Structure 1
Amino acid sequence: MKIDLSGKTAVITGSTAGIGFAIAEGLAKAGATVVLNGRKQEVVDAAVKRLAGLGEGAQIRGVAADLGTQEGCEKLIAAEPSCDILVNNVGIFGPQDFFETPDSQWQRFFDVNVMSGVRMSRAYLPGMSDRKWGRVIFISSESALNIPADMIHYGFTKTANLSLSRGLAKRMAGTGVTVNAILPGPTLSDGLEEMLKKAGTGSGKPIEEQAAEFVMEHRPSSIIQRAATVEEVANLVVYTASPQASATTGAALRVDGGTVETIA
């Protein structure tokens, strides 16, 4: 199967590192024009330079905007008023006990993890519908189904991503536009690596080994018994964004290493 996204423009939110950057790289390799996004201009510029330096031949642009705010979303939309592929990837996470999580933290997680996707989808879906082709992909999480006891506020936002993607898929019925959610499991992204370093429990061990131990302690139902790579997650996103995935919509697609204990 050869995925060709030549002539398509992809906006990937929160894409200067980790899963987002891997998705951007995968889409660029498939020929898409890629728009990177992060909060700080210098970080965005560095990511654009890094991706362009991989020599894929795709056009790479970047927009610095904080998508946890309405103003930030409007800034990105003004800079890139149209796209064919939208990947709502930007997100924050972190453990915090329910009884110690203030309203402000709930609101922050909701604004970044949910409202960014609402605003971006609302802006780009009408144009996709007019062109009779488009892809919107929400990066949810297995935590949308396996709500973590130590990150209830995070799991709540990822479940909301599933509601959004399913509802929007129905709203776009018959337009040629698909809307789906991707559910990664524990993934060796920059965020997980930083969390493991802060914990300091596996000091001296390779980061892959530390990540595997984390998975088996916190997600013992994992079948692959390790953290996924960001490229493994990106591969499913690139397929979902492709013309070949035209009959896949309204779906919650798992790349969770078998962590979720269900066959459905």
Structure 2
Amino acid sequence: MKHILLITTRDQGGIIYAVSKILYEFGLNIEKNDEFVDKERGLFFMRTEIGEANKKFDREGVLAGLHDVLGKEASITLKQAQKKSLLILATKENHCLGDLLLRYESGELNAHIQAVIANHDTLANLVERFHIPFHCVSSLEFDQNLGRAAHEEQIAHIIDSYAPDVIALAKYMRILSPAFVARYFGKMINIHHSFLPAFIGANPYKQAYQRGVKIIGATAHFVTQDLDEGPIITQDITKIDHTYSWQDMQKAGRDIEKSVFAHALDLVLHDRVFINQNKTIIF
């Protein structure tokens, strides 16, 4: 059984030696190690893949030993390297959701998709083909009668019933309240086109076509209370030219969105991402 050790601590001399010594004393073998020092903040980040030399080990003893040498304020996580639970939020667009469902069916996702929640029923048939629970919480119904807070509370109730490790916003076209974001901070990952903030509102690809842009991109990021400004996980672009219609641009953009989103989720699902203020460290 493989384990993943994640450490964020104040930078100081001898950290790698001290950590390695503790792991060795508990019969654990380092199979892969990555580290980074943020010199501006004086922080040390470390991700270690560990193989067990023995079938059982004293996990709490390892954590106590690491805190003894690194300090009680150090952030230390030691977990089994296993598939995480994933819940997806969606609206009407099917390209990112469909791509994740296909990757899931083929075994490419390091996750178990627990359910899909959407604020329209448009994608119900797609999701049910993969034998995954689908929940529709109509935003229109709540907006007209009960309001935004009630709508989010109903969604939160469903999310909490599954208790997912990660929440993927697969083109979920709703602005989330600060309270909702805080409730799942560090768990929610969003994907959007990289025209922001230049082309916002309806049909950004038509706006970009009218402006004559020469590249199309996508950005995957953690969701924070600052709209579309959370720590970036992955980005990519593709070049286009004057021969592209806005429909061609939209197709190219959706292809980029799918690949960027899947890559970002893969990194998070394998515990390769550290949040460092409004940036990320990727191992």
Higher helix share: 1
| TM-score, with structure 2 as normaliser | 0.44
Higher strand share: 2
Relative contact order (alpha carbons < 8 A, sep ≥ 6): 1 or 2 greater? 1
